[in-house]
Structure 1
Amino acid sequence: MSHPEPTQSPVIAQGVDDEPLTPTQRDLRGRNGLVFAALCIAYTLFHILVMNLFPMETWAYRLIHVTGGLVIGFLGYSALTQSDEATGAAGKLSDRGMPEKALLALALAGVGYAFAMIAYAWLGRWFAGMANPSAFIFNSFGIPLLVGTIAALVAGWVYSGRDRNRIYEGDWLLGIASIAVLGYILFVVGALRLRAGTGMAQPGDMYAAIAGVILILELTRRLTGLVLVVIVSVFIAYSFLGPWLPGFLNHRGYNASRFFTYIFTDQGILGAPIAVSSTYIILFIVFAAFLQASKVGDYFVNFAFAAAGQARGGPAKVAVFASGLMGMINGTSAGNVVSTGSLTIPLMKRVGYPARSAAAIEATASSGGQILPPIMGAGAFIMAEVTGIPYTEIVVAAIIPAVLYFISVYFMVDLQALKLDMKGLPRSELPKFAVLVRQVYLFLPIIILIYTLFAGYSVIRAGTLAMVSAAVVSWLTPHRMGPRQILHALDLGARMSIQMVAVCAAAGVIVGVIALTGVGARFSTLLLSIADQSQLLALFFAMCISILLGMGMPTTAAYAVAAAVVAPGLVSLGIPVLVAHFFVFYYAVMSAITPPVALAAYAGAGLAGSDPMKTSFEAFRLGLAAFIVPFMFFSSHELLMQGEWIDILHVFVSAMLGMFLLSASVIGYYFGRLNIVLRAVLLAAALAMVDGGWLTDAIGLAVAAGLFVLQRAMRGQRVNAT
């Protein structure tokens, strides 16, 4: 490391929030790169302009949002894992084998014919005033579109090659197929609103919807893997297999026409998840892109290192703060682990944390970012959309649970450092706090966002002002954002949002199935019958289902599904809507660190070189507070800012003490090392403090004080013995 000038400060974080390439992501250069960047910039600008200046009809806007995401996704992500070393892997088209040529020819013929028919219909409307084309046009395009789409998919799965720098021909055709689906549905959208999901649905409606669902599932597979695709496929199969299923899963079943046309409405794919994705989520992802392009994200991490890097276990404490903050903004646990963890995990290992603990701390903090207001990784926006509760009320309710979670993780990190006698990083290697504090204005975008939200501005207006302020603030730094950097941020925003588009569209399929089959209502009945035996047992069952539904799924999709399946059942138990949705939201988020499918923990294990399963159990242990807090605010609504201030303060203070006792029990260190018996006693005291009643608080405090006296006495005996 070079020696800084006296007026400078050592920089420990550079590009910490840069988006690493995923296994299937392309790295396009040259002409393809320019075309792709132009599409991304146009996609982002379209959303910003529509949200702020030129409102559009809801269905049309959401359809364009989904289709644009599909086109960019198929061009930017391959069907196969890519390699940086591979070049020209697929070769020229003339060099391909006959099976590949046949598949591509079939795909071109089918997709090309469908696109031509849709284009003919639109040209007739625009230039000849034809309200509707001849029946042949819309009766003949469906099967070719479906066959061509499937042929392009299969060609991509088998032949698309490993070169990050080229776009496979079949993926261009999938982009065109996406546009054809959009063109048809937009053309008939008025009539489709009335006939979708009924016996009046036309064959063209069904084929376009089937092709659209296939395209969404394929893009989801490329971006997130098979887990979400399998879950969506199970729900689709459930719609057809209902008559043969037992118990509360039984329903009458639906034919393909009714099912698929219903799914492509605002009850399914164009429903709440995409409503939020096309407004709040993409806006705040672009805000995150502006922070990234202006290097404000680096400042956040450097500020954390300057403040806490020298403390015992300093890098772990930095991870708790910085990863939580960045995770709040970027909305994905595993992605945040990869970006910030590439810096914090090696530094945690350097000061003495075992590789498993370093990875688990990063995963736990990054996942906690999803519950941290005011953005909450987009979860707050979906909750507001689904429940109708004002966004600001949700943000206020989230404050105390988030503080309890992060203070618990901080206590565990600190106690583990104390137990293992760890030190921090040398002050000479850390950024100078006195220098960074003079740049505290770089927090202005976050401050402006919070102020405008609570000053009564709409979420969209507040997000837009915060985004603009990030660009303006950059003018006070060496990373001044000019036109080129702003275009880069717009480009980056689109690239970062594609996963959310695919995930929300896929989650919309699940939400549509739940609405169509009524399984959510039957699940509510099941919860009511369990609650007759024990309400606590019903809550435990709801917790398990929320975690199970979220395993392997991105946070946003996990909550959207849990909100549709589990939350109505909790409301039917008499639990307030806000409490019920926070309950399932927490467990959907924490599925990212819950074994056996813990995506955030697995991402951290990959960086730390630790065992993925052991890391996931360690992350589960460190994040234990998040599994207890929902039961806390179920029994004490004051933790969600419901009630009198004196009661809120009492419950908050007792819960904080409970979190410290819980952390000490989990780590095995209180005011000295604890054996297994004393850990169990301290855990009981922690749970007593968690309950929130005066009597249980007194019991918990008495046990904690008694244990403190016991440990001090034992320490005194050891000192006297020496």
Structure 2
Amino acid sequence: MTTSDTRVTGPADDADAEIPLADNERDLHGAVGWAVFGFAVAFVALHLLTLNLAPMETWTYRIIHVAGGLMLGFCTLAAVALARDDRGTGAGPVVWLVALPAVVAVAYAAGLVAWAWYITAWAGDMAPQWALDQAAMALPAGTLIAMAAARWWTGGGRAPGWPDAVLALAAAVVAAYLILGIDGWRMRAGTPMAGTTEMLMAGTGVLLILELTRRVAGWALVVITAVFLVYAFGGAYLPGILEHRGYSPERFFSYIYTDNGILGPTTAVSSTYIILFITFAAFLQASKVGDYFVNFAFAAAGRARGGPAKVAVFASGLMGMINGTSAGNVAATGSLTIPLMKRVGYRARSAGGVEAAASTGGQLVPPIMGAGAFIMAEITGVPYTEIAVAAIIPAALYFLSIYFMVDFEARREGMTGLSGDQLPSFRGMVRQAYLFIPIIILIATLFAGYSVIRAGTLAMVSAVVVSWLTPHWMGVPAILRALALGARMAVPLIAVCACAGIIVGVISLTGVGARFAAMLLQVAEASQLLAMVFAMCISILLGMGMPTTAAYAVAASVVAPGLQQMGIPPLVSHFFVFYFAVLSAITPPVALAAYAAAGIAGTDPLKTATTSFKFGLAAFIVPFMFFYSPALLMEGEPLQIVRVVATASLGVFLLAASLQGWLIGATAMWLRVLLMAGALMMIAGGWLTDMTGIVLALALVALQWSRKGSVSGTDTQVESNNTHSRI
């Protein structure tokens, strides 16, 4: 992705622009590159075929989905950061000493499982149990050696090393074993009938998921998952609500690899909606429609005060809706918007904070909501279209708040926008408005009653057709590249969804979620508001360091049931949890989106996290707003909805003015306190508080206007006297 020094149209015009490689992601070439490319295309094509034309048995489909994601992940992502010019080291004696037992063990397990498949599928006989037992003994041994060795023998930046090839093969063996005995697995998993073979195979699968999650999302989610795993075995020795009866390793690991855990709701969403819409985003990227969104935002808002920051608000909202990860959205749009924000006068940490807050907010924007809407529909049973409609007003309030924050800072610092020669032509952008057709088709088909799968597929096809009206015409090679890009973008989400499934499985098996709900009810007896604040803190803590989908899935399992038992409707409960799970990406001290933005801005990560927290502060209040005023979720009479929207909008305006210390001019501290009080009154949602807030807001505006006029008149008189003195 290249950027011109004088215009911001460079990235969108660059036909070769692609998503940048992660620091541990390989740039595969040669025969290996073509093999992985072909596998990625086949992987996504299989999903699209299964979702639209040839349905597959559910557990089998999800097992293939997880295994394919693991295989692609180990082939493309190294265990450590890579040097791009590193082509790896040759095979010495030490390499052979470590590699030989790992390769032999996993290859032996693969051969035994393949033989069992042959006997079952071709000879029509039952697979010998001794073969499966020996495979289960050999597989984890080879996998552990390869996991340990992957940090030293990466293979370089152009091809996977032998440890990653072994891990990819191990993932295939686990999937083949599970599918071979899928009917028996359903009966035995999670019961006393589960034996050592089932435990070893499922345990190997859990290890592989944790290793790939570490590579794509860092240690945070892995550590949290490890805590839950320890709790599953150590809970019998804990006091109070954390105590449970304990479980044998055989029962636990086999239970985790069922639809109560890894193959449960998170993988259900990952294997359907996420893979579909990530591929849709890849088609938008390949057809350059995604770049058009960014350039349209520049053309519309680039000339305004602090133009690049306002562009970041709009562009990040559009792209983040589809992207699925806050940090990924920062990387995609921040590389362009953050340098331009710094150019017009924003401090580095402010530029990073704006981008992080806006990119995180993209996860709240319907109709896709970064895949969160689909998980919510899966968990709650609420129709997807109802969730998408309910999300409109809260998302609008969030971005309205960020817009006010950006505008007030630009006024306070005396910033200007970009000049016309640095921006795309707005008329030219309007003439290309047909590039919005894929999004329009997606929304129209969803609300016309089409299934989410069918609507997403039609939108994907329309992206191809629309590309035929542009210089970036998508033929068969471009479509294949888009499918492969979709697989590459999906791998991190497949890993974190499977990892979140482990946590969900532990919560389900131990019943800790129900006990937490009981504790929340006890808190609510003293104060419902206190219970809500407690639920907010738990949702943020559980979500720290996690991508959006995993954060929401875990928080929904622990917190949402307690809110519902307090009498809060399911939709409000899950939106409350979803918002704070998303906002964990900009909440210090662990704020993934802010850290990604700080890396681009070249500033302190913790200061950037604090700044992004300030820019997104309104979003921390919005969930309490729709708790007290469900009309914000489109629940109520039209007049009530209009009133609540109007007063809430004024509330976030006053909140932004208070935080930035600027209304009509600079505000003193006592005036900022009154602005904050007025904002909180408007946000409460009642008639009395709304009217009080409106009166207070009008009084403060009139007061500052009169003081500004007085200061302006005094300055004019002083200037006049000075002029007469000079004469």
Give TM-score scaled by structure 1 length: 0.97
Find out whether 1:103 has 2:123 as its counterpart: no
- In the alignment, which residue of structure 1 is the partner of 2:691? 698
- In the alignment, which residue of structure 2 is the partner of 1:304? 297
SS at match of 1:158: coil
Find out whether 1:143 has 2:137 as its counterpart: yes
- In the alignment, which residue of structure 1 is the partner of 2:116? 121
For 1:521 and 1:217, the matched residues in 2 are separated by 26
> Closer, same or farther in 2 for the Cα pair 1:319/1:372, shift >3 Å?
same
Which AA in structure 2 matches 1:410?
A: Y
RMSD, matched Cα: 1.5
Which AA in structure 1 matches 2:23?
A: P
Give TM-score scaled by structure 2 length: 0.96
Residue 167 of structure 1: how far off its partner (Å): 1.1
For 1:481 and 1:569, the matched residues in 2 are separated by 49
Contact 1:17 1:340 in 2 (8 A): no
SS at match of 1:713: helix
- In the alignment, which residue of structure 2 is the partner of 1:599? 592
> Closer, same or farther in 2 for the Cα pair 1:532/1:85, shift >3 Å?
same
Give unmatched runs, 5+ long, in structure 1. none
For 2:208 and 2:575, the matched residues in 1 are separated by 32
> Closer, same or farther in 2 for the Cα pair 1:547/1:9, shift >3 Å?
closer
Q: Deviations over 1:55-77 (max 9, x none)?
A: 00000000000000011111011
> Closer, same or farther in 2 for the Cα pair 1:475/1:13, shift >3 Å?
closer
Q: Deviations over 1:134-159 (max 9, x none)?
A: 22112221111110110111111233
Find out whether 1:286 has 2:279 as its counterpart: yes
**Of the candidates 246, 261, 264, which is equivalent to residue 253 of structure 1?**
246
For 2:215 and 2:590, the matched residues in 1 are separated by 19
Residue 467 of structure 1: how far off its partner (Å): 0.2
> Closer, same or farther in 2 for the Cα pair 1:535/1:17, shift >3 Å?
farther
- In the alignment, which residue of structure 2 is the partner of 1:90? 89
Which AA in structure 2 matches 1:114?
A: A
Find out whether 1:394 has 2:393 as its counterpart: no
Residue 13 of structure 1: how far off its partner (Å): 4.0
SS at match of 1:19: coil
- In the alignment, which residue of structure 2 is the partner of 1:427? 420
Contact 2:149 2:163 in 1 (8 A): yes
> Closer, same or farther in 2 for the Cα pair 1:12/1:714, shift >3 Å?
farther
Find out whether 1:354 has 2:354 as its counterpart: no
Residue 12 of structure 1: how far off its partner (Å): 6.3
Which AA in structure 2 matches 1:66?
A: V
Q: Deviations over 1:177-234 (max 9, x none)?
A: 1111011111111011111111101322111100000000001111111111111111
Aligned length: 712
**Bigger CA drift: 186-195 or 151-160?**
151-160
- In the alignment, which residue of structure 2 is the partner of 1:80? 80
Residue 2 of structure 1: how far off its partner (Å): 9.2
Contact 1:582 1:630 in 2 (8 A): yes
Q: Deviations over 1:154-174 (max 9, x none)?
A: 11123335x211210111111
Identity of matched residues, %: 59
Residue 421 of structure 1: how far off its partner (Å): 1.1
Which AA in structure 2 matches 1:73?
A: G
- In the alignment, which residue of structure 1 is the partner of 2:637? 644
- In the alignment, which residue of structure 2 is the partner of 1:159? 153
Contact 2:360 2:593 in 1 (8 A): yes
SS at match of 1:423: coil
Residue 48 of structure 1: how far off its partner (Å): 0.2
- In the alignment, which residue of structure 1 is the partner of 2:483? 490
Give unmatched runs, 5+ long, in structure 2. 716-727
Contact 1:17 1:297 in 2 (8 A): no
Which AA in structure 1 matches 2:696?
A: V
Which AA in structure 2 matches 1:301?
A: V
- In the alignment, which residue of structure 2 is the partner of 1:367? 360
Contact 1:9 1:432 in 2 (8 A): no
- In the alignment, which residue of structure 2 is the partner of 1:479? 472
**Of the candidates 228, 239, 263, which is equivalent to residue 235 of structure 1?**
228
- Which aligned pairs between 1:563-574 and structure 2 lie closer than 5 A? 563-574=556-567
Find out whether 1:545 has 2:538 as its counterpart: yes
For 1:86 and 1:504, the matched residues in 2 are separated by 31
Residue 338 of structure 1: how far off its partner (Å): 1.1
Contact 2:8 2:295 in 1 (8 A): no
For 1:429 and 1:228, the matched residues in 2 are separated by 42
Contact 1:209 1:260 in 2 (8 A): yes
Contact 1:12 1:431 in 2 (8 A): no
Q: Deviations over 1:235-282 (max 9, x none)?
A: 010000011111110111111000000000000000000000000000
SS at match of 2:495: helix
Find out whether 1:201 has 2:168 as its counterpart: no
> Closer, same or farther in 2 for the Cα pair 1:706/1:3, shift >3 Å?
closer
For 1:589 and 1:468, the matched residues in 2 are separated by 30
**Of the candidates 134, 141, 146, which is equivalent to residue 128 of structure 2?**
134
Which AA in structure 2 matches 1:554?
A: P
> Closer, same or farther in 2 for the Cα pair 1:12/1:125, shift >3 Å?
closer
- Which aligned pairs between 1:454-603 and structure 2 lie closer than 5 A? 454-603=447-596
**Of the candidates 203, 206, 216, which is equivalent to residue 213 of structure 1?**
206
Residue 428 of structure 1: how far off its partner (Å): 1.7
Contact 2:4 2:10 in 1 (8 A): no
- In the alignment, which residue of structure 1 is the partner of 2:676? 683
Contact 1:17 1:298 in 2 (8 A): no
Contact 2:229 2:506 in 1 (8 A): yes
For 1:493 and 1:9, the matched residues in 2 are separated by 26
For 1:479 and 1:462, the matched residues in 2 are separated by 24
**Bigger CA drift: 8-17 or 412-421?**
8-17
**Structure 1 stretches (4+) deviating beyond 6 angstroms?**
1-4
> Closer, same or farther in 2 for the Cα pair 1:514/1:14, shift >3 Å?
farther
Which AA in structure 2 matches 1:608?
A: A
